[in-house]
Copies of this chain bind each other. A is one copy, B any other.
Amino acid sequence: MVEFDDTFRRQLRELFVWRRDVRRFRSDPLPDGAMDRLIETACLSPSVGLSQPWRFVIVDDAVRRRAVIDDFRACNADALSCYSGERAARYATLKLSGLEQASGHLAVFADKTSDIGHGLGRATMPETTEYSVVSAITAMWLAARAEGIGLGWVSILNPDRVHAILDVPDPWKFIAYLCIGYPETECDRPELEQAKWEHRRGANEFTLRR
């Protein structure tokens, strides 16, 4: 049995505080094996009924990477067109992905049809399959930051298009496209907060008692 002390808990809190969605990467590659090690850590995560529905796709092929970047650009242009006035001007200045610079590209899917776990826990809430994959991504994100590696989650993508670009099995559901590499800078504040797009609220704004 393992116990954790105050020093660890203080550092763990620092890890939460300093974990960022990274969009600005240095060009140097990750060390050999780093991506596989992060995936292995992710697989220690909880999954509904031990279903282990996470499916990882390491994207190295330059043509596929370029196609994903093109899809991001198209989706981001569409997103910009939904804002107007000052808000649109501000959106246009935001850097929302590090796809061009990140040395590592990792797509993550959920296999909704796998029989691993024999369906346990998924009958009334089948979406817990996707949630298990998100939990694994979160673990990977924290483990990466502890190694000084940055991760950025790109959601401004067309899921069907990414699925086709990566040519993965039909039943897999696209969850996330991750940019992974060394960050240009570290910060304890989200980039969207620094850019005054949105600010963080206190937990008390989000808590009810019943």
Residues of A within 8 A of B (CB): 1-4, 8-9, 11-19, 21, 36, 39-46, 48-52, 54-61, 64, 75, 78-79, 82-83, 87, 91, 94, 96, 107, 116-125, 127-128, 130-131, 134-135, 137-139, 141-143, 145-148, 153, 155-159, 166-168, 175-176, 186, 188, 190, 192-193, 197-203, 206-210
Contacts and interface: CB of A to CB of B under 8 A. Distances in A.
A56 B206 contact: yes
A123 to B, nearest CB: 5
A2 B186 contact: yes
For chain A, what secondary structure do more than half of its interface residues adopt (helix, strand, loop), or is it mixed?
mixed
Given A50-B193, A50-B197, A79-B120, 12 more contacts: A12-B142, A43-B203, A50-B199, A52-B200, A52-B206, A58-B208, A59-B210, A60-B209, A79-B123, A82-B123, A121-B156, A134-B138
A148 B2 CA distance: 9
Contacts of A16: 41, 44-45, 139, 143
A61 B210 contact: yes
Copies in the complex: 2
A60 B207 CA distance: 13
A46 B141 contact: yes
A210 B61 CA distance: 6
Contacts of A201: 43, 52, 116
The 5 closest A-B pairs by CB, nearest first: A50-B198, A16-B44, A134-B134, A138-B138, A40-B203
A123 B74 CA distance: 12
Contacts of A55: 206-208
A43 B166 CA distance: 33
